[in-house]
A and B are shown apart, each in its own frame.
Chain A
Amino acid sequence: MNGMAHKLAGTTKGPGDTPHEFIFISTDPENILKHGEYVWYAIEKNNKTQRVIARITERVDAHGYPDTFLSDPLIAPQDIAAIMGYPREQSTIYEISAAIMGYFDTDVGAFINPWIPPLPGSPVFFADSAMLAEALSRKRQNDIGSAWIGDLLTREPGDAPIIIDMTEITSSHLAVIASTGSGKSYLAGVLIEELMRPYNRASVLIIDPHGEYSTLQELTDLAEFRAAAEQQRTAYQPEVRIFKPAEVKVRLSTLEIGDLRYLLPDMTEKQQYLLEKGFKKMTADPRLKKKWTGRDLIQAISENAGGENERDDTSTVGALEWKIEARFIENTLTFDPVDHLDLRDIFKPGQCSVLPLHELDDRNQQVVAATLLRRAFRARERSVQKKEPTDGDQNLDYPIFILIEEAHHFAPAKADVISLRILKQILAEGRKFGMGIGLISQRPGKLDADVLSQCQTQCIMRIVNEVDQNAVAASVESVGHELLQNLPALSKGQVIISGAAVNTPVLCRVRKRVTKHGGASIDAPMNWVESFNARTAAEQRRNEATSAPPSNTMGIYRKRPTP
């Protein structure tokens, strides 16, 4: 213990309802013992004094007034109590329940539960911000692999910064779950800013179905980053590459038969059979050198269908060909025989790439994501296993992190979507290959439960919908029931961070973004008013120009007097 006087919070009354809870009594004159606030008590462990940190879970007024004292809004109950001889300054005594988190063992790097509540009558102290900042966060600010997400909610901004461990997030994945308008894209922006800081220089891809991450471009020219880089004596500026929708192309040969089946829905058994047969034949054809076109596929199918046993296939083949043509030949926006996104263009240390998918239809979005995830996963797999690429794609020699917006769209709960399988594989095996996934969703209830539970770090913001709350409670083990009860009460920009990247679940206020926020909703009434005013002004100008007499500035025509 240092020589500083610790702030007393109260006196222990005794154990609480559960073995890891205790109750203490306080008059709390400064009103600081809020719900979610931290206190500590001392225990002796191996001849060392350890501070056991506990979080306040409940606060009950132990000396409540009778209801009749509260019956006149003009009269404070304290006044009546004072008349009746109860000293005004002692009018409230709180019985406060606290959940024991444990003392922080720096060797283990985790909280150790001592399994012993404080003795009745022993003092309970208010945990100061410096102590909390040290105990709650894994990393220190500006460390390699640190990310300053925000501050402890119960403290003043800047008092107790919450620093999460990027190493964990990029290997054991992240889920950001929140209702619309609770600030999840804002938080994602903060995360990206942290990933792109000089001490992280991550290789990040954002799969952005709404095209709301374009403001990240500002990252390339931030004085703050430049100064930090100069301090470290390196010239570092993060790159932000926002791909144009036209650049988002999928090379046809990277599609697998599963992708084809998904892209050509409602096929009959026979069509599926013919497609598979044709696909096999085509991919085995050495002349095509793994670069086939839609026409090659149609040709392979019709050649196959011409066999002796398949004389009546004309109409089936015709329908299949028509489907292939519509998807792969006419729709040249997404699929291309040769061009596709170069993995090394997308993934570079110190580069944040944004892949806007808002011009694609749902299925194409899912296939674009699936093919890209598959290629990236294989590239990382080969690099780690030190294998040469065989499919004409490149290897990636550094870990990568992929942030997926609207994740329920790529990994839905009750639908078989092509991107789900590869996502599951990456979430399960990505740790081995240095491939991290960040899922962002406002509908955890619609998100595949396995996928959600694979994300070891969770940032949970306000959720009001009960189905979604239950989905979170079911798949997020690290957050206690008591903390999840706060979900509907969280304000915008308040987040519960839990799991691998923090030492204990923590309520955090998201910090201010350095770059502008792009995901804000449109102010419709403002736009209407502006648009209306512009139109009326134009009309007025037109009227004035044509017929309005100069005296009539209001644009209202006087009735011509009748003769």
Chain B
Amino acid sequence: MTLNNFADAYGNPVGVIVKSDSHIRYWAQIYNGNETVLPVEPQEYAFGRYVRVEYPNTAQRRQLIGIIYDSMLLNPSFGSLGPRLASDDSQRAIFSPDYLSERAVLIGIIAIGSMEYLANGEPSPDSIGKEQGAPSFAAELGAKVFPLTESEIYAFHFYGESSEAAPALHIAYISQLLSAPFGLLPQAALRILDQLEPMFPNYQRHLKIIRRNILWKQSIEPAR
């Protein structure tokens, strides 16, 4: 099994990396109906979702972990105001199919770490394969983007510091979301708390405090 089809074997990709702004900020293009058998549902690339991006050329079963923090609609004929043959998409499929294929949905992904997977496709359970914060390796163009499953999200966040230490919740990348100069990141941080809170009932009070801290900085402090 090559690494490429390893990734494919565990879930359906939603798109591919098409551009990057920095080591941690990427743009991925969502597959349209022509590229996949099953159409990609909007909730699969919703704002604040965890995704993994395959590292095609590394020898390890390591995946970049990221969060969708932005989206963009691409329309190459934006601004072409001349008359068209077709007025809706069913007609356009016949008269100008190229126009449809050039339209795209892009999603912004911020890299928040990386995680190693076991041979059976399960995420590694201990701290060794986990990296939170800026990942060591950048993603590559054309790399496939997959939504993270609940058990993957759990594994990425809950592990022991060492083999002796009791497993605990880790969200070390959250300050990265809060301190980056991009306006939507704190909102994304709130969204990930929405996902983590039901997953970690023992940490609800802790997460509430973190949420309160973000909310205060987001809503009250600017108003003061």
Contact = CB atoms under 8 A, between A and B. Distances in A.
Q: Do A and B bind each other?
A: yes
A190 B172 CA distance: 59
A526 interface: no
Central interface residue in A69, A74, A75, A84, by most chain B CB within 10 Å:
A84
Interface in B154-205: 168-175, 203, 205
A72 to B, nearest CB: 5
Nearest to A74: B205
A562 interface: no
12 contacts: A71-B212, A72-B209, A74-B205, A75-B205, A75-B206, A79-B206, A80-B206, A83-B168, A83-B206, A83-B210, A85-B170, A85-B174
A315 interface: no
A72 B205 contact: yes
A66 to B, nearest CB: 6
6 smallest beta-carbon distances between A and B, as pairs: A85-B172, A68-B213, A75-B205, A68-B212, A83-B169, A80-B206
B129 interface: no
A82 interface: yes
Nearest to B200: A83
B208 interface: yes
Given A83-B206, A83-B210, 10 more contacts: A68-B212, A68-B213, A68-B216, A75-B206, A79-B206, A84-B171, A84-B174, A84-B175, A85-B170, A85-B171
Interface SS of chain B: helix, strand, loop or mixed? helix
Contacts of A66: 213
Contacts of A80: 206, 209-210
B132 interface: yes
A85 B175 CA distance: 9
B142 to A, nearest CB: 31
A66 B220 CA distance: 15
A82 B170 CA distance: 7
A75 B203 CA distance: 10
A136 B173 CA distance: 51
A308 B169 CA distance: 111
Nearest to B175: A84
Contact of A83 (B133, B170, B216): B170
A207 B174 CA distance: 72
Contact of A85 (B133, B205, B206, B208): B133
Interface of A: 66, 68-69, 71-72, 74-75, 79-80, 82-85
A69 B171 contact: no
Given A66-B213, A84-B175, A72 B208 contact: yes
Contacts of A68: 209, 212-213, 216
B24 to A, nearest CB: 16
Nearest to B178: A84
Contacts of B175: 84-85
Contacts of A75: 205-206, 209
A287 to B, nearest CB: 95
A80 B169 CA distance: 10
A84 B210 contact: yes
Contacts of A72: 205, 208-209
A82 B210 CA distance: 12
Contacts of A84: 171-172, 174-175, 210
Q: Which of B170, B206, B208, B212 has the most CB atoms of chain A within a 10 A radius of its CB?
A: B206
Contacts of A82: 168
Contacts of B168: 82-83
A85 B209 contact: no
Nearest to B212: A68
Nearest to B173: A85
A19 to B, nearest CB: 38
A83 B208 contact: no
Interface in B35-60: none
B216 A85 contact: no
A79 to B, nearest CB: 6
A83 B212 CA distance: 15
A126 to B, nearest CB: 30
Interface string B118-136: 0000000000000011000
Given A83-B203, A85-B133, A71 B171 contact: no
Nearest to B157: A83
Contacts of A83: 168-171, 203, 206, 210
Q: Which of A69, A79, A83 has the most CB of B within 10 A?
A: A83
Contacts of B210: 80, 83-84
